[in-house]
Structures are given as structure tokens and as C-alpha cells.
Structure 1
Amino acid sequence: MTHDAMSHKMIRWTAALGAVVVAVGLAGCGGTDESAGASSTAATPSGVSMVSPPPSADTATTIDITIANGTVTPRNARIEATVGTPIVLYVTSDAADEVHVHSTPEHSFEVTAGAQRERFEFTVTVPGSVAIELHEADVTVATLQVR
């Protein structure tokens, strides 16, 4: 084999190897858009990717709140919750109000008069007792015991 033929073969081999390296690198960058509810990936120490599914409705803590004729249900409920697990409030109300969640960070949600199962979702990132209150009704709906 001539020197020119060997150089040409080496250049082709180097280009092919470079293409493989780029393809592998791009495959590793194929993240997901978590804001769209897609699953997330995490690499293990061995470099193998593990996919974790997005939170589903059956893993969320749900609370149904009713405001009717000035009466709020529930009142002063004690509910267990987990750090990072979604909390979903379903509010049915005949009056406008504001749900205030005393967590870190705090959350506030405007309740519409005539709402039928209006949905509000949040997560708690700091463990402890978290009060959920209605401001206009001046009622503590529930206290979450977040662990």
C-alpha cells in the first residue's frame, strides 16, 4: 500500500470515528421537556440512564374543598403529605375567595364564584406544618403535616 493510500484510509477512519463520537454525544444530550409533563432522566454512576415517570394523580395528595352558603368543608383537617409530592386542591364554591398556602415558598390561588371543582396544584419543598386557609371566609381548611 502506498503512503498516499494509507493516509487516505487513515483520514476516512478518523472521520468515521469522529462521527460516532458526535452521535454518542448527541444521544446523551437528548433530555426531555419536564415542563410539558414528560418523564425525566438521571444518569447513574455507571452512566446508565434511568427514566422516572412524571407524578400521576394517584401519587398526589388531593383535598376537596366546598364553600356553600358561608359554610366551608373541610375545616381544620389534619392531612399527611410528603415533601415534593404534588398537592392538588379541588374547590367548588358559590363565592369568590383566595386560598392561601403558608409554605416556603407560599402559594395563593384565586377562587372564582360559581367554581365547580376548580383545580389548584402546588408542592411543598420544606417539611413541617403547612396551613391552608381561605382568606375571605377566614377559615383554616387544613393543616398539612409534611414529612
Structure 2
Amino acid sequence: MRLTARIIAVVAAICGIASIATACGNDVATEPSKSSDPVVVEINFSGDSVDPHGNQVDVPVGNSVELDVTADAAGEIHVHSDPEQSAAYGVGTTRISLGAFKVPGQYEVESHTLGKTIVTLEVQ
């Protein structure tokens, strides 16, 4: 009986360590966020300026992202995701939906018109 109890304890310990190692090293599939609310990023273009400029925005895995763009001139936003995304915006206010981000990582959102990084989406 004692040998059986020891074997069970050793197997349980090994399984626990394997679970932790797997969870820490997994960058392909992560448990999706339970929130259905999108992460909204407000972007303002004025002349040759954009606000925010280079900020990091945290996005839970599985959440969608929406860009609320206010601009004084038309342009285009590019997202370095897989697949890559591009969206045009016009004068005034435009809402751009980027969909859900299911893979952890950093995704740059750029203005090709200005050649500037607007934000980096930190999906985790």
C-alpha cells in the first residue's frame, strides 16, 4: 500500500509540474477572455500629429479591438497582425473594428499616411 501511495504522489507531482511548464511556455493558444466588451482605442489625427503616439494598449486574448478615429484629413491605418489588416478613415469620426485577437503577442497599429506608430496592442 505504501508503494502505491508514493507512486500516486510522484505522478501527481510530475503532472502538476508538467501543467505549469505547459501553461508558461504556451504562446500559441491561450484561454480566451470572458469579456465580450471590445477594447476601444481613441485616435485623433490633426495635421501631421497623431494622439496617442507609440503607447501600449493591453488587450486580453480573445477580445476584439475597435479604433475610434477622429481626423481632419482622410488616411489609412495598418495593423501588423496575422493576417495583416488595413482600414481607411475619412474626415470626422470613423469606427474601425479589428475583430478578436486570439494569439498573444505585440501588434503595431500604424498610420501609413504619417509613417508613425499609433499604438502597440499587447495581447495577453
TM-score by length of structure 1 reads 0.57
CA deviation after TM superposition for structure 1 residue 54, in Å: 9.1
> Which residue does the alignment assign to 1:125?
102
Q: How far apart, in 2, do the equivalents of 1:71 and 1:104 lie?
A: 27
Q: How far apart, in 2, do the equivalents of 1:85 and 1:135 lie?
A: 25
Letter in 1 for 2:83: P
Q: How far apart, in 2, do the equivalents of 1:104 and 1:82 lie?
A: 17
Q: How far apart, in 2, do the equivalents of 1:98 and 1:130 lie?
A: 16
Q: How far apart, in 1, do the equivalents of 2:55 and 2:101 lie?
A: 17
Out of 101, 121, 124, the position equivalent to 1:144 is 121
* Residue pair 1:75, 1:141 contacting (<8 A) in 2 also: yes
Change (3 A) 1:127 1:71: same
Query: Which deviations, in whole Å up to 9, do the C-alpha atoms of 1:41-95 show, x marking residues without a partner?
Result: xxxxxxxxxxxx993xxx2111000001221000000111022211010000011
Out of 62, 67, 79, the position equivalent to 1:84 is 62
Query: Which deviations, in whole Å up to 9, do the C-alpha atoms of 1:100-138 show, x marking residues without a partner?
Result: 1111121110011x222x101122222101000000111
Q: Secondary structure at the match of 2:103?
A: coil
Moved beyond 2 Å, runs of 4+: none
* Residue pair 1:104, 1:126 contacting (<8 A) in 2 also: no
Out of 24, 45, 56, the position equivalent to 1:67 is 45
> Which residue does the alignment assign to 1:103?
81
RMSD value over aligned CA atoms?
1.7
Change (3 A) 1:69 1:143: same
Q: How far apart, in 1, do the equivalents of 2:35 and 2:58 lie?
A: 21
Higher relative CO (Cα under 8 Å, sequence separation at least 6) belongs to: 2
Q: Identity over aligned residues, as a percent?
A: 32
Q: How far apart, in 1, do the equivalents of 2:61 and 2:89 lie?
A: 25
